[in-house]
């Protein structure tokens, strides 16, 4: 393997503590990084990612873990950055299970615990150049594949995310060639991400519609599922407008109208019927005109598994 060269790689370091920032910057500089931007707060970090996405981002979780992790997942979802696939390494002093879980669920590539050596840093960066994990898209998560048991069956497909850090550090492409190649790969990857998110979010709406038939208005789960459906529908509208799926937008608006009717207590039967029809029609569009009967069969299979799991959890608790 040829020596990695980091002199043209753009790096962003977020850390509110000056001593930590200085230590990270010094370690990166010793490895050959020269284009290092500093962010001292979360807002400037998020603004920098949106304005000029780096090839590599370091962000400190201490004191802002929950908010930082939400920003990272927003980036991965493609909602707040032109490049959702930036290599992101989270740093932290805290090694608690709760923080590790939040970072894993954020879609970050890695968690590096402080204090770390320059050799450790070099090894982690090299890993994300040479052996970066494939990305997955689900209704709740976009990011590196976190399955512990690769042999377990799954319908989630992996894809290789664009990696401008690898283009610069290993392949040593010129800035012009990186720009051209990254632009082409980002267009393809964003199209894949948007299509998969549309299909999974639309399917999730239908699953929630079916589950709501078990719940009584006023229950916490009922209200939470209504909010989740409206949130999913509005997210689908944004993605559909990017891909000119106007018919899907119309059905999303019907879904939101049905949710508002249910929240206001207006004719539950009519609102539930509208919600069901709109969700099935939405799935029909985003799943390549798959028949309603086939969609409903797949939805009911998932709902049956969820109900069985809930019943087992209830029985175990009692």
**pLDDT at residue 153, rounded to an integer:** 46
| Closest by CA position to 82, among listed 46, 51, 42 | 51
**pLDDT at residue 152, rounded to an integer:** 47
**pLDDT at residue 62, rounded to an integer:** 84
**pLDDT at residue 213, rounded to an integer:** 85
Residue 117, Cβ neighbours under 10 Å: how many?
9
The answer for residues whose C-beta is within 8 angstroms of residue 185's C-beta and 6 or more apart is 162
Residues 235, 78: Cα–Cα separation, whole Å: 11
**pLDDT at residue 107, rounded to an integer:** 96
pTM for this prediction: 0.85
Per-10-residue mean pLDDT of the chain, 318 residues long, equals 86 95 96 97 94 96 88 90 95 90 94 95 97 92 79 68 97 93 95 92 96 82 91 92 84 96 92 96 92 94 91 79
Question: In this structure, are residues 153 and 129 in contact, taking their beta carbons and an 8 Å threshold?
Answer: no
**pLDDT at residue 1, rounded to an integer:** 43
| Closest by CA position to 231, among listed 265, 197, 264 | 197
Query: Domain residues of the chain, as ranges?
Result: 10-173, 198-312
**pLDDT at residue 136, rounded to an integer:** 95
Look up the CATH number of domain 10-173. Answer: 3.40.50.2300
Report residue 81 as tokens.
Answer: 């950055």
């Amino acid at each position: 393997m040829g020596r990695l060269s980091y002199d043209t790689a753009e790096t962003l370091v977020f850390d509110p503590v000056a001593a930590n920032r200085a230590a990270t910057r010094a370690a990166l500089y010793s490895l050959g990084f020269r284009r290092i931007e500093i962010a001292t707060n979360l807002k400037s970090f998020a603004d920098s990612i949106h304005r000029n996405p780096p090839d590599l981002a370091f962000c400190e979780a201490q004191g802002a873990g929950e908010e930082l992790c939400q920003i990272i997942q927003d980036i991965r979802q493609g909602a707040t950055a032109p490049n959702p696939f930036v290599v992101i390494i989270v740093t932290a002093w805290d090694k608690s299970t709760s923080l590790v879980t939040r970072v894993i669920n954020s879609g970050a590539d890695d968690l590096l615990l402080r204090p770390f050596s320059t050799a450790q840093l070099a090894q982690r960066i090299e890993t994300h150049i040479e052996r970066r994990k494939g990305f997955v898209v689900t209704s709740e998560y976009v990011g590196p594949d976190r399955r512990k048991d690769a042999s377990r069956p799954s319908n989630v497909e992996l894809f290789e995310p664009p990696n401008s850090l690898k283009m610069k550090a290993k392949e040593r492409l010129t800035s012009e060639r990186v720009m051209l190649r990254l632009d082409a790969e980002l267009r393809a990857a964003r199209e894949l991400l948007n299509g998969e998110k549309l299909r999974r979010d639309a399917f999730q709406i239908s699953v929630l519609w079916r589950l709501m038939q078990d719940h009584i208005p006023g229950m916490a789960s009922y209200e939470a599922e209504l909010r989740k459906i409206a949130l999913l529908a509005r997210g689908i509208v944004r993605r559909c407008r990017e891909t000119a799926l106007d018919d899907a937008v119309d059905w999303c608006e019907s879904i939101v109208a049905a949710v508002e009717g249910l929240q206001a207590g207006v004719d539950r039967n009519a609102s539930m019927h509208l919600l069901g029809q709109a969700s099935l029609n939405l799935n029909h569009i985003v799943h390549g005109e798959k028949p309603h009967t086939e969609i409903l069969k797949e939805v009911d299979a998932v709902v049956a598994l969820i109900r069985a799991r809930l019943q087992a959890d209830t029985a175990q608790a009692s």
